[in-house]
Structure 1
Amino acid sequence: MTRVLVVDDSGFMRMALRRIIEAEGDLKVVGEASEAAAALELAGRLRPDVVTMDLEMPGLDGIEATRRLVALPDPPAVVMVSHHTRDGSANALAALGAGAADVLWKGSSLGSLDLAQIDRDLRGRLRHWAGQRPAAARAAPPLHVPTATGPASNLPGATDVVLLAASTGGPEALEALLSAAGPLAVPVVIAQHMPPDLSPDLARHLAARSGLPVVLGTHGMPLAAGTVAVIPGGTDGHLARAVGGGFVLRLGRGEGVVHPSADTLFRSAALVARGAVGIVLTGMGRDGAAGAAALRERGMAVLVQSPESCVVAGMPGAVIEGGLATGTGTPAALGARLHALTTPRAAGRILGSTA
């Protein structure tokens, strides 16, 4: 039985969410709170698997409450359910950056259409994220890897594409990595778990903060050197070889709850790239581990965010546990290393662990 804590300052919404959540019998609402302080107390006492969190409430808002929830020793997954995530996309990105695993909008009102949408989407997401909680991976030690010179490593200048995977906490990690990396001589493709409506805002946000050309990916788009392409939320992206050289981005919806899929992107690069670099950043679950294995089988580098610097270390932890990481570091350290790895005359330690 999946245990759910409902947090919303509207009594009507708490009642509606309880009915929706418990409709099929395998999810149980174990507590309700109308404000964040009570939610934090209940979460510590009841230890729910997942929390539905409103954004605007008396006292602490939902973003700060989420940040505190994911800092608990055994944190629940947090799904933000609020019309403010849609009305203000900056709030939705902030929620993901603070540790929300997912966001779901109510719409601009509480009419039947909005509740019908929640009824369609919410239970599946709660089941998925409750099953992805990485309690052990959060405390995993950083991986210390010596400088690699054998077939499992890309040589400086041999990289032809960079792949970035992120989920919970991803927007802030991506911003730090891209800002530290600066302009790159190869295309970059981002698979950040998020709803479709948020992807254009993420691209604009990253472009403004990093100063790099960040664009929303489209089906058949040629991937230009120096350009960062964000795969649209709710779909999956894979690489294909372009006529005359280079890569194009193909889009399509695969199986599973989480999109864009890091595994899909990484596996496609393992088939068509000569020297892809995969980087797995903060996130809940194991997406990216199977794709990392495919890259490593082809002798390509896989870097991961150090667990202690993650909001949630599930995705990097899964790569580390599988013995697939060729290096770790903070997002800024990974960005600096990425710049070295894509520069032809780079030298020195480029694949070892960075504090």
Structure 2
Amino acid sequence: MALTRRRAIISALGILASGTALAAGAKWSRPNARLTLLPMLEKRVVSGWLGPNSLLCFASESSYDVAAGLVFDLSTNTTYPLPPLPTLPPFTTTAPDPSPDGRWVLYKECIGGPQWDKTPIPHATRWRLVRTDGSETRLFPPDGSFHPAPDEDRSPSPIFALPTAYWLPDSSGWISVPDVSDTGTLERFRLDAPDSSPERLVFPGMGHKSLEGITPEGRLVFTDCAELTLQFCEPHSGSRPTPPFRLMPPMGLVCSFAVSGQDVLALVREVPKTRFAAWLARLLHRPEDTTELWRFPLDGSHPTRIEIMPPETYFFDASPDGKRVFLRSYDEQTYLLTLTRT
């Protein structure tokens, strides 16, 4: 009798645990009108927004061929190629940085470095600005010369390396991201500058914090990834940063985040709390962790969960108007999520 009772208890616990795990595994896959799979972009890697209604994508995440970029128009579900780059003497070109209004694509061109072993050339850079309709190309400096940059990393970078620049919210120019350890000095380029020369911006006390983006109001966002904090600076040389804003999700780990309007959006991954929960998830072929998109208001009010994501989601980016985000997953799928405030 004792053996029969023990078997009954074990069986009941198994059924209860199975039901719990099935519910937990199904919660991310429930029908959701706001989250849309984009099957047209399967096997392509989306790198960013080109204006509020188009996405920039490439065939491979490890590709160095920046000329192979395609623009996917969300309103028509069609793609078209980026304007071709000119055939010039060999140099490396970074991934394109699209302007918020979708009219320009910015490239950073580098010469020198390890690929010039036979004829050593000092490392130098310049910027190329191309209209998305191919009607205009501008160089910074205008004469096409390369400016020495001996302290920068000289290795070629793939399509999805760290950004080389962040556009100003009104698309009137950009702020370059230095490829060196000291981020206390930045350069701001403006399209209407008379001589196209950049303005140097110095932010005392920023140390090794990284420029993460620019808010719609034009404030610069610096991050400390080790401490998971953000600080804001007015876009004027000598400005002092605000006190650190810490991302503190109720549970889980922040794996990706971006500033959107007056909020910080973050992908938060919750791992199983117990070894038994992880084992049961594997047994039932369910995801062991849950990925969720959260909103952290910059005014310090309570964070809120926006939506549960497919478990393989690892990266996202918000549209320039803050109304939608695209999300990438490890199984090479791209999702589109419409943001609403509750």
TM-score, scaled relative to structure 1: 0.24
Q: Which has the larger radius of gyration?
A: 2
Say which structure, 1 or 2, has more relative contact order (CA 8 Å, 6+ apart).
1
TM-score, scaled relative to structure 2: 0.25
